[in-house]
Amino acid sequence: MPPEGDDIVGQVQVIKARYEDTFAALGETHDLGYLELVAANPGVDPWLPGAGTDIILPTRFILPSGPREGIVINLAEYRLYYYPQGQNVVHTFPLGIGREGWGSPVGNTRISAMTSNPAWYPPQSIREEHAAEGDPLPTVVPPGPDNPLGPFKMSLALPGYLIHGSNKKFGIGMRVSHGCFRMLNHNVLELAKMVKVGTPVRIVDEPYKFGVSEGKVYLEAHAPLEEGEEKTLTLMDKHAVVINTLLKRDEAAGNLHLDWEMVREIIAGEDGLPVQIAEQRTEVAAQEDQLF
């Protein structure tokens, strides 16, 4: 966890790609989602980066706003944060979330059950969808390598929603599911060792996160989730969301001199990397500014 009053953890890393590397494989190795890597490396071919190409690993994160307890899922970030009770640490993992038309919910819930090596009982709606595509599903898929839930599932108190593993390596950090939260298998097993039934789960949708580190203010921007063309955000819409998000940070909003040109660049880029946009002014400096 960061020091008291700070909101940022981790550091950005840069590695050299090998000939055989893909973003999907790098994501599995470094616990990053596919779209995270794409956003942080514009212009790099995700399927053939090329030997020797510099690859930015976006492993620095502004923590989501709100209480730092239990599990926090940020949909816009395709990422889960877990704050163990009584420990000054945070664990974070990439997620696959609900695809367009099957969006994952926002709200507060909890883990209601935990199941190792689960069987999968496809809901009728999913069976009908697969049947229409010529890919009929059985009424039950037993545990094993072909089970889409992977080696572990955590049921949420929201009926029908799970945090679970996968039988596919591709799709983590993307909109791929029917609303559930899909994790890399080694990640879901790691998380399962730390949480328990009753662990609170808070699901948010924060494409723009502000955070403070060593007196400097940072903005981290992700592409907002959209459902249909009618909800496509213009650049002006995004600016309004950023301003409203900042105004919610009461302790910072009135005590900053923002670099608005940098803010505009960050919003346009949406690369998921925390970038400095201001420094917090001291109370004395703020009072002096008011005199002139």
SS3 at position 26:
helix
Please give the C-alpha separations between residue 14 and each of 37, 53, 55, 102, 160, in angstroms, as whole numbers.
11, 10, 5, 35, 39
Structure tokens belonging to residue 85: 């009770």
Q: Which amino acid is at 241?
A: V
**Cα within 13 Å of Cα(76), Cβ side:** 18
Does the annotation count 180 as an active-site position? yes
Q: Where are the alpha helices (DSSP H) in 89-198?
A: 124-132, 185-192
Query: Which of 223, 226, 98, 100 lies closest to 156 in space, CA to CA?
Result: 98
Structure tokens belonging to residue 62: 């502004």
Does the annotation count 164 as an active-site position? yes
**Marked catalytic residue, from 178, 180, 222, 239:** 180
Angle between helices 260-269 and 235-247 (to 10 degrees): 120
Structure tokens belonging to residue 137: 């599903």
**Marked catalytic residue, from 30, 91, 164, 239:** 164
- Tally DSSP H helices, then E strands, for the chain: 8, 17
Query: Which of 246, 280, 286, 282 lies closest to 263 in space, CA to CA?
Result: 246
| Whole-number Å distance between alpha carbons of 103 and 97 | 7
User: CA 213, 11, 89 angle in degrees (round to 5)?
Assistant: 70
Q: How are beta strands 175-177 and 97-98 bridged, if at all?
A: parallel
**Known catalytic residues?**
164, 180
